[in-house]
Structure 1
Amino acid sequence: MTTIVIVPGAWLPPSFYGPFAQALKTAGYDVRYASYPSLDLKDPSATDCETDAKALAGTLRSIVEDEGKDVLLFQYSYAGMPGAAAAVGLSRSQRAKEGKRGGIIGLLFIAAFVVPESLSCAGLQGGNLPPWILLDKPSTGLNIPDDPINNFAPDVDPTLARSLEADIKPHSTLAFTSPQPHPAWADEEFRGQLGFIVTTKDRALPKEAQYGMMAATQQQWITREIDSSHCAPFISRIEDTVKATQDIIAELA
């Protein structure tokens, strides 16, 4: 049985992904959730992308090395940065060569950032974060998104979208402005093990940007599209997201 490890995007807590996680379990997968410290933290000055990656790596190593699980790493939005770094050295193909069981069978990104080593999320966007990210809110070093319904879920029923707005938590700005540690998607052992679910009506991370980041890696990607906004895959398009995930798993090398 494949274990799907969900790494969340910025601003949204585990409860937001609960219905999607349950749908994956119903489809027959073992589902885990991997958290990182830059979300709703108390000391934003000390938490950058590398810190997040180290926290995720600890969780992944426990699942892969201690439990021997075959893992699909499911990374949403900002999670594409620390998640890719956390996966380094844990490919199932590499571990099999070393006579070890378990490992990451694939890196799956959904509406996610795929950032070259040493470049930050802000750096990828010309050095500045988009204006809808409200800096130093609610306090110095933290940020929250402006008008989350309009930016993240304009295609979702308003009743459901209001719950999204209520779930928003502050995030560390340093996580977005610090450099990307070495990402696993650049390594030979993950060749043929990269998937991306593109959200084609995404205002926060436009479709063109998603394809552009993939192209810049010069790697081969297995892709699926969902005709949705940034957050709809986990609210109103859960069935489509599960199907796209299943399709990509079936095609992984």
Structure 2
Amino acid sequence: MSQANPTIVFLAGAFADPSCFDELAAGFNNAGYPTAYAKVLSLNPSDPSSVSTSKDAEHVRSTVLLPLLDKGKDVILFVHSYGGVVGGAAAAGLSKSARRADAKKGGIVGLLYLAGNIVGEGESLKEAVGGAYPPFIKEHQPSNGLALIAPVMETLYGDVDAQKKADLEAGMIPHALAAFETPATAPAWKEAAFDGRRVYVRTLDDQCNPLFIQDIWLEKSGVEWETVDMKTSHCPFISRPQDVVKACTPFFEKWRE
């Protein structure tokens, strides 16, 4: 009897609604994979001082991951950019093997980081990028405690059709600076349960998370990652969604249990 494919849970980067994955999710759906989105509290909150990285992670864990796992679902965590900080912490202790050892059904069977931020326990994203914001992060815009990215297209979407510029620029959502400045809790990718189940997609022409810093994160993690290179900007799920599906599906097939 064939096992159902795992559910892919998407975690978007900062400044983005999870609907940014709609075209990519449709591609995975067509390949037989159910999908779900997680949203973080630090995306344009009414009170930017009330949020943190750890609160984002706990929210994702309690509202998306645990409900799926408790239904017996296997999950692949697919994270982009800041989603890597949140997803890494949210998935801690939820591997398939850990849950099986606790006589629980379901579990996370693999981690896919697409230009994902990798931070260690007790580290903030700001620290992980060198302790200072890059120039495209516009602090305290449009109001205190929030930030925006500018220029949008050059930073995030360098290989996206210019006809989409208006929609992509309008889709820029303020994000709380506290999300980048508060420490993360222990990440799932450190766990031996994910040996052979970690993939990092390196975006070679990335102007947001440049290739050199992606490589620093991978090296500093101290664990083994399988890597895939895509000659794209920061958001290939916008510019080349079908290529992302093709690149990722072979790993997902291996992770089925």
The TM-score with structure 2 as length reference comes to: 0.94
1:60 aligns with 2:60: no
* Partner of residue 205 from structure 1, selected from 197, 209, 213: 209
* Partner of residue 121 from structure 1, selected from 119, 125, 135: 125
Equivalent residues of 2:11, 2:18 under 8 A apart: no
Q: Structure 1 stretch 53-62 or stretch 205-214: which is displaced more?
A: 205-214
1:108 aligns with 2:112: yes
Give the C-alpha shift of residue 251 in structure 1: 4.2
Partner of 1:35: 39
Equivalent residues of 2:199, 2:227 under 8 A apart: yes
Q: Which runs of 5 or more residues in structure 2 are unaligned?
A: none
Q: Structure 1 stretch 96-105 or stretch 29-38: which is displaced more?
A: 96-105
1:100 match: secondary structure:
coil
Amino acid paired to 2:250: D
Alpha-carbon distance between aligned partners in 2 of 1:76 and 1:145, rounded to the nearest angstrom? 16
Partner of 2:176: 172
1:229 aligns with 2:242: no
* Partner of residue 84 from structure 2, selected from 77, 80, 87: 80
Percent same amino acid among aligned pairs? 37
**Superposition RMSD in Å:** 1.3
Give the C-alpha shift of residue 23 in structure 1: 1.2
Alpha-carbon distance between aligned partners in 2 of 1:247 and 1:225, rounded to the nearest angstrom? 14
Give the C-alpha shift of residue 252 in structure 1: 4.2
1:139 match: secondary structure:
coil
1:182 aligns with 2:196: no
2:27 match: secondary structure:
helix
Equivalent residues of 2:11, 2:87 under 8 A apart: yes
Equivalent residues of 1:200, 1:207 under 8 A apart: yes
Equivalent residues of 1:186, 1:217 under 8 A apart: yes
The TM-score with structure 1 as length reference comes to: 0.95
Give the C-alpha shift of residue 141 in structure 1: 0.2
Q: Number of paired residues?
A: 251
